Amino acid sequence: MTSRQRLAFIILQLNYGYTSWREALRLARAASLGNASDECRAAADAVRASLEAADAAMAKIQGEVVAA
């Protein structure tokens, strides 16, 4: 697991209550493959938001400008 993924997983746990990175990714992948269930769509949104937040946090730490 990369630093980005670890940070995203911490965000995923704190903000969305997921306890397993693999399970969240499995559900998100299912959504990307066409599963329209609420659980899969919610996981996809949570994973995406967590990765974006991790990217923004890492950029802020490194002193980069984050595009809005």
CA 46 – CA 38 distance, rounded (Å) = 12
Mean pLDDT per 10-residue section of the chain, whose length is 68 residues:
94 96 97 97 97 94 70
Position 28 scores a pLDDT of: 97
Position 56 scores a pLDDT of: 93
**Sequence-distant (≥ 6) Cβ neighbours of residue 21 within 8 angstroms:** 1, 5, 9, 12
